[in-house]
Amino acid sequence: MQLFDLTGRTALVTGSSMGIGLALARGLAQAGARLVLNARNADRLEEAAEKLRAEGAEVATLPFDVTDAAAARDAIDRYEADTGPIHILVNNAGMQHRTPLEDFPPEDFDRLMRTNVNSVFYVGQAAARHMIARQSGRIINIASVQSLLARPGIAPYTASKGAVTNLTKGMATDWAKHGLNCNAIAPGYFDTPLNAALVADPDFTTWLENRTPAGRWGEVEELVGACIFLASDAASFVNGHTLFVDGGITASL
């Protein structure tokens, strides 16, 4: 399956010390990619790197704050100069904050937007400048079913993920002519640390099982195939697309 082979390519995955980011990094490594893991917590990042190295992956770490434009640019420029090209970027870092909209603190709105939207622009732009010079690259942004749907208490998160989907379209529109493929993956409800409170809520789980045609929570490993596809030559003419991996929840009323 040479179309899906990532041997010889380097993938930077933000927010990859746990959850979806770690699962995607592991999957990219299994497809042949070298890994560059990113998170703010250097100790936790190194723990994740050691796990993947023990599984046979070639892993480097690049700790920086994705909400700091200068830090993102400096880290990526330094890696490109000292180590080599980043061929694949997965913008996975994100956060959630659940509060009724009328009570949502403005400072938390700003923090959520910086983490979920600004970071995609900052890290995406920093990586794209090098990709454009090479006329080749893959950018995969992690959106959400909340790019299309809303639920009570998470209106700012919904706004942020809608922005990620449209920013992905904008990236493709500006950068496809330079050989970049910019797409997004929109997960449904997955059993992750970000959703720990919902997973622990039996009423929510019952609602989710009834609402989702597949009838269950997703497992993070079920996102790997979509990521490998969009990172590989198999997706050479896929651009500006958001691929929903959601058990059918956005397809069904």
Confidence of residue 253 (pLDDT cuts 50, 70, 90): confident
Domain boundaries, the chain: 2-244
Beta bridge partners of 61: 37
* 193 pLDDT more than 90: no
Beta bridge partners of 182: 139
Active site residues: 157
Confidence of residue 202 (pLDDT cuts 50, 70, 90): very high
User: Over the stretch 107-125, which tens digit does the pLDDT of each residue have?
Assistant: 999 999 999 999 999 999 9
User: Over the stretch 129-169, which tens digit does the pLDDT of each residue have?
Assistant: 999 999 999 999 999 999 999 999 999 999 999 999 999 99
Domain 2-244: CATH class, spelled out: alpha beta
Sheet containing 180-187: give its strands across.
59-61, 34-37, 10-13, 88-91, 137-142, 180-187, 242-245
Q: Is 235 exposed, middle or buried (0-12, 13-18, 19+ CB in 10 A)?
A: buried
